[in-house]
């Protein structure tokens, strides 16, 4: 049994929140560079150049990439041979978010009640997804999510008879309805299967998979590639002003489901698609 003090978790989460908002992950940097090479629209190229300039300024000056520094979403994979000491794990994670958003001068965007809407002042509470895995390590992935793109996300409860084409049509509809509102070029996370809530969580987690890394399931990989091609054929383009590059990636996760259902979650993210991980 390995013991980890929750103070380590707090410190790790603080740094993840700050770094995710200041500097783009290497996979997203490569994806945007490739997008600039492939974009044919002159206006689209100009927009991608401006995005690149913005990213360089944020990295060099240690300031947020985007004014919407998101609601903190964390995926925490805990080895079953780990024991946490020194306090409550969830409290420790939220303390890390509080410190990160305060010390990093990141915008506090969380309201404590969805209808009363009083700001909590420190961007807590976070959205935390726990998973127990074998071993004695802990992996924390931080994926701050802005709501310009989050608001464009959808859940479709399809019929089994809708099949693969139904899934593709659902993804395309979500992207087309989003248009410029999700700050394209987008990354689209898709969850297929499970239940109402499971498909949405899978779609969210799919966004943390490195761009360019496809599903290990052959037919899913083909769907990812086909959907990316079809989405880029919509010519929504960078910033929604037309062009060849509407999306940078489509990442699909699947899970078992009920004989009577075919749930599909589509979680759309902007060109930043912030995600960063650490292993303790």
Summarize pLDDT for 233-250 with one digit per residue, the tens: 999 999 999 999 999 999
pLDDT of residue 30: 92
Give which of 91, 53, 48 is closest to 185, Cα–Cα: 48
pTM: 0.94
Rounded to 5°, angle at Cα 139 from 193 and 8: 145
Both tokens assigned to 99: 């410190």
Helices assigned H by DSSP within the chain = 6-22, 26-38, 42-61, 89-103, 147-150, 163-178, 196-206, 218-232
Listed as ranges, residues in the chain with pLDDT below 70 are none
pLDDT of residue 153: 96
DSSP H/E element including 79:
strand 73-79
Q: Please state which CATH number belongs to domain 2-20+65-144.
A: 3.30.360
């Amino acid at each position: 049994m390995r013991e980890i003090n929750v103070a380590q978790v707090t410190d790790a989460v603080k740094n993840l929140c700050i770094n995710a908002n200041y500097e783009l992950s290497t996979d997203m940097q490569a994806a945007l560079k490739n997008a600039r090479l492939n974009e044919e629209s002159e206006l689209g190229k100009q927009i991608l150049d401006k995005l690149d300039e913005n990213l360089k300024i944020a990295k060099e000056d240690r300031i947020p990439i985007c004014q919407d520094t998101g609601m903190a979403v964390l995926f925490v994979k805990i080895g079953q041979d780990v024991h946490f000491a020194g306090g409550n794990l969830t409290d420790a994670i939220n303390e890390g978010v509080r410190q990160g958003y305060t010390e990093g001068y990141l915008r506090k965007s969380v309201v404590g009640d969805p209808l009363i809407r009083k700001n909590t002042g420190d961007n807590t509470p976070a959205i935390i997804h726990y998973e127990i895995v074998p071993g004695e390590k802990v992996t924390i992935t931080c994926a701050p999510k802005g709501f310009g793109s989050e608001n464009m996300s959808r859940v479709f409860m399809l019929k089994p008879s809708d099949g693969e084409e139904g899934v593709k049509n659902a993804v395309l509809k979500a992207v087309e309805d989003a248009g410029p509102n999700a700050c394209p070029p987008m990354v689209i996370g898709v969850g297929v299967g499970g239940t109402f809530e499971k498909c949405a969580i899978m779609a969210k987690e799919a966004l943390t998979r490195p761009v360019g890394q496809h599903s290990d399931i052959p037919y899913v990989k083909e769907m990812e590639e086909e959907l990316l091609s079809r989405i880029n054929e919509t010519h929504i383009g960078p910033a929604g002003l037309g062009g060849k590059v509407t999306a940078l990636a489509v990442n699909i996760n699947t899970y078992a489901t009920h004989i009577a259902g075919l749930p599909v979650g589509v979680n759309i993210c902007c060109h930043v698609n912030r995600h960063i991980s650490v292993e303790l």
